[in-house]
């Protein structure tokens, strides 16, 4: 009897272990299982001038699907739409994104277009420190002239691949444009906005994206023509915004911004008006600096000394250093050298900012960009507070304001695998030119900061004066600040005024 029970018990143990082994080999839950998309809808009011405007906020996920109809990506967006609009065909909608690639829409959301704004030191004299930070109502809100949809591309914000989706399908120049265009068509259809005026607003790489998306929207059997693009700190042709050895274009395009920044820090142009000093720098760049660089070693030493002397006049660095640099000053070195005697580095995104370096003799900034790290804490806290308290969002994952993995894995290749392709600087300017030729109503506003040392204003002038662009439909505006001109209060007001005129003049 005991023997029989023993063998039965042994068999049961074996069966238990065998089934347990099978269970361990089989996932407890299908990894491609996709839950229902989340949506958080709230009602709000905001003062615009002397009027009170009612609007609806919808913070939600939209699922992109593959050719078989399976969800493969979740795009997180926040839309603000005016309530009780009787005729949607007269109501514009603007789709907004930042750049990177790898940045969520937090900067334009909480710095310019959103109903609540993060406030940092307008004069770039103090960093954001630690919490608490200041959030205020957007007193210059543009919600009276347009609805806004803030888009976080895959891998940023709450957006991610789902189901059988792969990040490689989204982390690339063409792939990104395709996914954003697909989302825009979905949103427009779901919200019955095909007859509404439509705009794109992007910053930095977001302007690269805007040009690519505008071009992509004309294809795929669903042609969508846009009314306009708002390009903040444009980056359409990277030859003019990539400071590396031997890139002659960048030495030219960056020089006027260096001059403006040296003027700001009182290292050059003393007693001169900024606009007049910048114009001097433009003329020197066109008429003397460009020919000198093109001559290279054929330029006589005496002529080199003349150019070095004039460069010193414009950018505030010592003539001997400029000569030893072969008349070519890389941006990272300019950031360190301008205020080197004070042990400070200036910002790249905004030359007004200054960072106190640990290594006082480093050739380039070691701490990073003070124009970024001195405000990013406030913006990160601000968007999270806004999502939780203003929009009542409850998600099961962190909101990523940036994702470095995206930049590391980004695919810049513009043709399919297997096709011949030789790497060149990124350039979507021709795409924009072709789009504007096919759509004679599309206009472009280009906002430029004088102290932007990553996307220089002179590069915008250089880009939009060629490449087949219809310049009569392009408006270049200038601000005495840097890349994110909205962090400077006077220019935030000027920028919103310029954008409002851009909408209403349409």
Looking at residue 506, its pLDDT comes to 63
What value does the mean pLDDT of the chain take?
A: 91
Distance CA 279, CA 286 (A): 11
Q: What angle do CA 380, 498, 144 make, to 5 degrees?
A: 75
Looking at residue 32, its pLDDT comes to 59
Looking at residue 435, its pLDDT comes to 96
Domain 39-239+376-505 homologous superfamily, CATH? Alpha/Beta hydrolase fold, catalytic domain (3.40.50.1820)
Q: What is the pLDDT of residues 349-364, one digit of tens each?
A: 999 999 998 888 888 8
Looking at residue 93, its pLDDT comes to 98
Q: What are phi and psi of 335, to 5 degrees?
A: -60, -35
pLDDT at 414 over 90: no
- Residue 14's Cβ-count burial label (10 Å; 0-12, 13-18, 19+) is exposed
Q: What is the pLDDT of residues 61-106, one digit of tens each?
A: 999 999 999 999 999 999 999 999 999 999 999 999 999 999 999 9
Q: What are phi and psi of 70, to 5 degrees?
A: -95, 135
Candidate from 43-47, 153-157, 340-344 with smallest mean pLDDT: 340-344
- For the segment 473-491, the average pLDDT, to the nearest whole number, is 97
Looking at residue 196, its pLDDT comes to 97
Q: What is the pLDDT of residues 162-208, one digit of tens each?
A: 999 999 999 999 999 999 999 999 999 999 999 999 999 999 999 99
SS (H, E, C) 239-308: HHCCCCCCCHHHHHHHHHHHHHHHHHCCCCCCCCCHHHHHHHHHHHHHHHHHHHHHHHHHCCHHHHHHHH
- For the segment 115-141, the average pLDDT, to the nearest whole number, is 94
Of 405, 383, 376, nearest to 484 by C-alpha is: 376
Looking at residue 7, its pLDDT comes to 42
Q: How far is CA 360 from each of CA 332, 366, 392, rounded to the nearest angstrom? A: 14, 10, 46
| Domain ranges (residues) in the chain | 39-239+376-505, 244-371
pLDDT at 273 over 80: yes
Percent of the chain whose pLDDT exceeds 70: 93
Of 141, 119, 131, 127, nearest to 45 by C-alpha is: 141
222 or 391: whose pLDDT is higher? Answer: 391
Task: Output DSSP code: residue 484.
Answer: S
Looking at residue 415, its pLDDT comes to 84
- For the segment 296-315, the average pLDDT, to the nearest whole number, is 96
Looking at residue 17, its pLDDT comes to 40
- For the segment 493-503, the average pLDDT, to the nearest whole number, is 97
Q: Are 365 and 332 in contact (CB under 8 A)?
A: yes
- Helix, strand or coil for residue 489? helix
């Amino acid at each position: 009897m005991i023997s029989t029970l023993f063998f039965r018990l042994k068999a049961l143990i074996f069966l238990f272990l065998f089934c347990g082994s099978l269970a361990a080999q089989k996932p407890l839950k299908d990894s491609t299982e996709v839950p229902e998309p989340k949506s958080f809808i709230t009602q709000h009011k905001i003062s615009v001038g002397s009027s009170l405007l009612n609007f609806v906020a919808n913070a939600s996920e939209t699922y992109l699907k593959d050719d078989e109809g399976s969800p493969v990506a979740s795009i997180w967006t926040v839309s603000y739409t005016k309530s009780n609009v009787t005729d949607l065909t007269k109501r514009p909608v603007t789709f907004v994104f930042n750049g990177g690639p790898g940045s969520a829409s937090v900067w334009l959301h909480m710095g310019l277009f959103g109903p609540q704004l993060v406030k940092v030191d307008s004069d770039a004299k103090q960093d954001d420190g630690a919490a608490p930070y200041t959030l205020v109502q957007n007193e210059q809100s543009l919600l009276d002239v347009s609805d806004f949809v803030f888009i976080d591309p895959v891998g940023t914000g709450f957006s991610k691949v789902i189901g059988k989706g792969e990040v490689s399908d989204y982390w690339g120049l063409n792939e990104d444009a395709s996914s954003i265009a697909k989302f825009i068509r979905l949103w427009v259809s779901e919200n019955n906005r095909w007859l509404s005026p439509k705009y794109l607003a992007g910053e930095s790489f977001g302007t690269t994206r805007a040009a690519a998306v505008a071009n992509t929207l004309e294809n795929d059997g669903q042609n969508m023509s846009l009314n306009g693009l708002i390009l903040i700190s444009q980056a359409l042709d990277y030859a003019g915004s990539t400071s590396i050895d031997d890139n002659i274009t960048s030495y030219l395009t960056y020089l006027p911004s260096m001059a403006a920044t040296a003027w700001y820090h009182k290292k050059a142009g003393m007693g001169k008006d900024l606009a007049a000093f910048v114009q001097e720098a433009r003329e020197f760049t066109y008429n003397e600096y460009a020919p000198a660089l093109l001559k290279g070693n054929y330029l006589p030493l005496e002529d080199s000394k003349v150019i070095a002397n004039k460069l010193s006049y414009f950018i505030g660095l010592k003539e001997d250093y400029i000569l030893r640099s072969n008349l070519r000053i890389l941006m990272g070195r300019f950031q360190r050298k301008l205020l080197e005697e004070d042990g400070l580095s200036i910002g790249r995104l905004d030359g007004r900012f200054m960072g106190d370096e640990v290594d006082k003799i480093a050739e380039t900034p070691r701490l990073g960009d003070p124009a970024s790290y001195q405000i990013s804490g406030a913006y990160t806290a601000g968007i999270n507070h806004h999502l939780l308290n203003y929009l009542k969002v409850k998600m099961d994952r962190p909101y990523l304001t940036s994702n470095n993995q995206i930049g590391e894995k980004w695919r810049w290749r513009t043709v399919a695998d297997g096709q011949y392709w030789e790497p060149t600087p990124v350039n979507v300017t021709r795409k924009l030119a072709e789009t504007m030729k096919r759509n004679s109503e599309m206009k472009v506003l280009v906002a430029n900061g004088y102290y932007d040392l990553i996307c220089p204003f002179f590069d915008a002038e250089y880009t939009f004066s060629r490449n087949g662009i219809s310049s009569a439909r392009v408006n270049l505006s200038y601000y005495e600040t840097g890349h994110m001109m909205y962090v400077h209060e006077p220019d935030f007001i000027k920028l919103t005024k310029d954008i409002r005129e851009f909408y209403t003049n349409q």
